[in-house]
Amino acid sequence: MLVFNMLKLQNAIVELYRKAATSLPEDVETALRLARRKEEKGSNARAALSTILENIEIARAGERPICQDTGAPVFFVKAPVGLSHLKLKDVIIKATRIATREVPLRPNAVDIVTDKNSGDNTGIGFPVIYIEETKYNKLTIDLMLKGSGSENIGQLYKLPIAELKAERDLEGVKKCVIDTIHKAQGKGCPPYIIGIGIGATKDQVTRLAKEQLMRNLNDINKQKVLAQLEKRLLNDINKLGIGPLGFGGKTTAVGVKIGINHRHPASYFVDVSVSCWADRRARLIWEVKSEE
């Protein structure tokens, strides 16, 4: 049987929250700095990126949240066989309550029926926790703090779509993604990072799309055709001219990532999940020991 020290893991998850909320990943910050160089001097786009980068530095130095909306916590957990999923969820929930108070995180969990805020970022299905088993004796916890503004502009599509002239193929997928960003304009705080999920069912592709937002911006898709599509989409999205914070410019997005699953012959679902420039993600790897 595998065991872990719940108190130590709880404290580590609190620090994971702190890291995600206050310090942007290096690959995202680097992409934003490169984007600033591409924008014209004196332009609104360059000024917006300068403000964003200054905000990132201040947040990291003072260990304060990057954005006032500290988002909906989404966990992707890979647990070794034999580790209790119930106990893992319990320790994550306890850590969430502590992190809300100590980081601090803005309380964002609102009861659907009463419309009351729980005050501690916990409730029915909140935080969002996905757990799957792994053959490795290491517990991996990935955390994303998903801002609501960018979450609201995401779209789910069922191909074919006559209005978009989008068929059941990758060209149709491309049209869906462009449609999402064109409709969003600057509402979700660009430059965006865009995750795309393609597969058989609606619930499957929404999770798959969000998982793509956990990928490093510098990684290359293992499937060549998808890697090429990611590059084409990034180029085409930046041609829209929406720009940083919607002020116009060359940088509407800094990353596009695609994930796929097999589909049913009668279905072709595409989900487009969008992150604002603050793609707040962090990872914890925890050694798990066997109980003698």
* Chain segment 210-260, per-residue pLDDT in tens: 999 999 999 999 999 999 999 999 999 999 999 999 999 999 999 999 999
Q: For residue 14, what is the domain's CATH number?
A: 3.30.1330
Same domain flag for 263 and 243: yes
Same domain flag for 180 and 256: yes
Phi-psi region of 165 (alpha: psi -120 to 50; beta: other; left: phi over 0): left
Same domain flag for 96 and 201: no
Is 57 part of any domain? no
Is 31 part of any domain? no
Same domain flag for 140 and 180: no
Is 41 part of any domain? no
Same domain flag for 103 and 198: no
Q: How many angstroms from the chain centroid is the CA of residue 98?
A: 22
What is the Cα gyration radius of the chain?
20
* Tally of domains in the chain: 2
* Joined tokens for residue 266: 């009668």
Note the pTM of the prediction, 2 decimals: 0.95
Same domain flag for 203 and 237: yes
95 and 6 in contact (C-beta within 8 Å)? no
Phi, psi of 10 (to 5 degrees): -60, -45
State how far the Cα of 75 lies from the Cα of 68, in Å rounded to an integer: 20
Same domain flag for 169 and 100: no
State how far the Cα of 94 lies from the Cα of 10, in Å rounded to an integer: 7
Same domain flag for 10 and 135: yes
Q: What domain range includes position 159? A: 149-275
Is 184 part of any domain? yes
Q: How far is CA 71 from CA 83, 144, 147, 185, in A?
A: 28, 9, 4, 20
Q: What is the pLDDT of residues 112-165, one digit of tens each?
A: 999 999 999 999 999 999 999 998 889 999 999 999 999 999 999 999 999 999
State how far the Cα of 182 lies from the Cα of 79, in Å rounded to an integer: 39
Q: What is the pLDDT of residue 292?
A: 42
